[in-house]
Amino acid sequence: MAEINLKSPLEVAKMRSAGRIVGETLQLLSEMVEPGISTKELDSAAADYIRAQGAKASFKGYRGFPASICTSVNEEIVHGIPGARRLKEGDLLKLDVGVALDGYHGDAAISVPVGSVSEEIERLMGATRDALSAGIAALKPGVRLREVCSSIQRTAEQRGYNVVRDYTGHGIGRELHEEPKVPNYVPRRVMWQGPVLEQGMALAIEPMLNAGTHRTKVLSDGWTVVTKDGRPSAHFEHTVAIDADGPIILTLS
């Protein structure tokens, strides 16, 4: 297995600077979300804001991704491409933003209701936010990664939701995706414990919860991941550094 890069306090500070711009961008976008706005307009606003901070959108051009942010609606889980689609009252929008500044990345996502949404959607969003909080709370030196995965999975399944297995959280730093992978469930491999968490690790924790099956498929655009059964999905993500005392969230505004 590839090595996990531990970050120095200076590197964590740089990731905090990148992460703050991620948080600010998500805040700005969430305030723009309303019925009638297109996902392309959100992408443009994000690109402008990130550029104005002297930073770069991490996703633009990543393996050929054509936009600055990901916008995924309803049954779309992650990696949706912004475009002409206009949001409608009752939609569930997921916004995923990555920013690179001074050689380091921050990565975070939120789920945003468009206008007023059904109680089903509200419950799904709440459970996903709680699953993220549970995962973050488990991040302490000496803890096995399995415990983090288990906390997320338990929170989701207790509420009657399924966690996506085909996509995971990840280490982050100089690269957008580093070791280790952070599954939102405990892999079935016998006795899998995962690495022991250490001070200086930086992880993107990102539960994706589905109202129905955990199964996914990718649309013909080659990017957009949707639920196999067409039921809605929610996503929340933070980039978090592990300090001696526990987690430090780096992607708050």
CB of 125 to Mg ion, least distance (A): 18
CB closer to Mg ion out of 112 and 240 = 240
CB of 170 to Mg ion, least distance (A): 6
Count the residues of the shown chain that bind Mg ion, applying the rule CB under 5 A.
2
Cis peptide, bond prior to residue 180, ω within 30 of zero: yes
Question: DSSP letters of 128-180?
Answer: HHHHHHHHHHT--TT-BHHHHHHHHHHHHHHTT-EE-SSS-EEE-SSSSSEEE
Please report the sign of the dihedral spanned by the C-alpha atoms of residue 79, residue 131, residue 88, residue 106: negative
CB of 237 to Mg ion, least distance (A): 5
CB closer to Mg ion out of 117 and 148 = 148
CB of 116 to Mg ion, least distance (A): 28
CB of 168 to Mg ion, least distance (A): 9
CB of 108 to Mg ion, least distance (A): 8
CB of 62 to Mg ion, least distance (A): 11
CB closer to Mg ion out of 11 and 178 = 178
- Looking at residue 229, what DSSP letter applies? T
Q: Which of 46, 204, 208, 241 touches Mg ion by CB under 5 A?
A: 204
Of the CA atoms within 13 Å of residue 162, those in its CB half-sphere come to 17
Nearest to 238 by CA among 88, 59, 105, 142: 105
Q: Cα(84)–Cα(86) distance, rounded to whole angstroms?
A: 6
Find where tokens 């990731």 sit: 15
CB closer to Mg ion out of 49 and 167 = 167
Residue 176 · residue 203 · CB < 8 Å:
no
Query: No. of H helices and E strands in the chain?
Result: 4, 15
What φ, ψ does residue 156 adopt, rounded to 5°?
Answer: -70, -50
CB closer to Mg ion out of 49 and 59 = 59
Order of all β-strands in the sheet with 233-235? 162-163, 208-210, 233-235
Q: Which amino acid would we find at residue 34? A: E
Residue 11 interacting with Mg ion (CB under 5 A): no
Q: Which residues within the stretch 69-128 sit at the binding site for Mg ion (CB under 5 A)?
A: 107
Q: Cα(120)–Cα(161) distance, rounded to whole angstroms?
A: 11
CB closer to Mg ion out of 86 and 177 = 177
CB closer to Mg ion out of 55 and 117 = 55
The region of 72-80, 120-128, 143-151, 200-208 touching Mg ion under the rule CB under 5 A is 200-208
Binding residues for Mg ion, rule: CB under 5 A, are 107, 204
